[in-house]
Amino acid sequence: MKLKQKIYDHYLQVINEREAMLQKVLTDLKESGANETKSTAGDKHETALAMLQIEQANSRGQLQELLLQKSALEKLDPGVSAPMVVNGSLIKTNRGYFFMSVALGKAVIDNITVMALSRQSPLGNKLMGLKPGTSVGINNIEYIIESID
């Protein structure tokens, strides 16, 4: 299996695990809310219920953002290569590997450290459309594109 496919699969798994965790949190909060409604402890009860509702809203927001990332990632085809940096490119630079997809942080795959970048990130924005042999600077660091898959 190609490195790019392994990277894609890894990040898709990361998103799926986060989604499952957030779904569980929402289920647990819903159960806690149901238990709170059975209680009649006055102000303390209403405060606890309000806190649960805030946690539910935050978790729903996180889940919504995660589903947008998942949708963006699923639109990429790791089998496609382009001569320049596009969404879905695996970019090898003098400073390491970057996977142009969604911002999901670092991962180590086959002993290679990869950073998943979104095109909206400062570095991702500057890399878009560039070809091997070109360079870009950000925060006084020069990135030279060695290859693109």
The pLDDT tens digits of the residues spanning 26-75 come to: 998 888 877 766 555 566 667 877 888 899 999 999 999 999 999 999 99
Domain count of the chain? Answer: 2
User: 54 and 9: one domain?
Assistant: yes
- Token pair 């699969």 is found at 9
Domain assignment present for 81: no
User: 9 and 70: one domain?
Assistant: yes
Domain residues for 103?
90-148
Domain assignment present for 79: no
What is the reported pLDDT for 51? 87
User: 65 and 94: one domain?
Assistant: no
- Token pair 């978790």 is found at 59
From 136, 137, 114, 140, select the one nearest 4 (Cα to Cα): 114
